[in-house]
Amino acid sequence: MTYLNLRVPYSGQLIKARSVLESLTLLSVRFYLFSVFFFAGFNKLKEWESTLFLFEYEYSVPFLRHDIAAYLGTAAEIALPVLLLIGLLTPVAAIGLFIFNFVAVISLAEMPAATFLLHVIWGGLLFSLLLWGPGKIALDKFVFNSRDTH
């Protein structure tokens, strides 16, 4: 029994409301991150020649040839957000997108402050999913029968 249960008459309802709000918040974070990364990947796929040009001349991804980086980056930007959205393998998807986001930041020689701030926000949201999990509205909850996915 928690301290809240002892002191507040409607604590059970408050705890349930908190749980629902927490799950909806985590779902909205997953949806937001999906929309950011998936549609960026979709645009890369749609404008493939431009994507290859950017990876060859604009981005300097460490340790990879530009064409391999373009294929891997586009695949990551399309597949990982889908996993994140449905809440399947959420830690894997969040870590993958976190690394992708980090590489995107270090690959550009110059980045406007506002763009850098967006990458920091996205990294923070991805890290929050690593800390708190996908929430109750996620396939991880059902597939892995986990009790600790908030």
In a domain, residue 11? The reply is no
Burial label, 88 (beta-carbon count in 10 A; 0-12, 13-18, 19+): middle
pLDDT for the residue numbered 35:
99
In a domain, residue 101? The reply is yes
Query: What is the tally of structural domains in the chain?
Result: 1
CA–CA separation, 60 vs 64, rounded Å?
9
pLDDT digits (tens, 9 = 90+) for 35-93: 999 999 999 999 999 999 999 999 888 889 999 999 999 999 999 999 999 999 999 99
In a domain, residue 113? The reply is yes
> Helix (H, G, I), strand (E, B), or coil: what is residue 41?
helix
In a domain, residue 4? The reply is no
Token reading at 35: 């929309």
| Model pTM score | 0.86
8 A C-beta contact, residue 126 and residue 119: no
Q: Which of 6-15, 32-41, 47-56, 138-147 has the lowest mean pLDDT?
A: 6-15
pLDDT for the residue numbered 11:
76
Closest CA to 98 of 80, 78, 110: 80
In a domain, residue 65? The reply is yes
In a domain, residue 114? The reply is yes
77 is in which domain, residue-wise? 21-143
Is the pLDDT at 1 greater than 90? The verdict is no
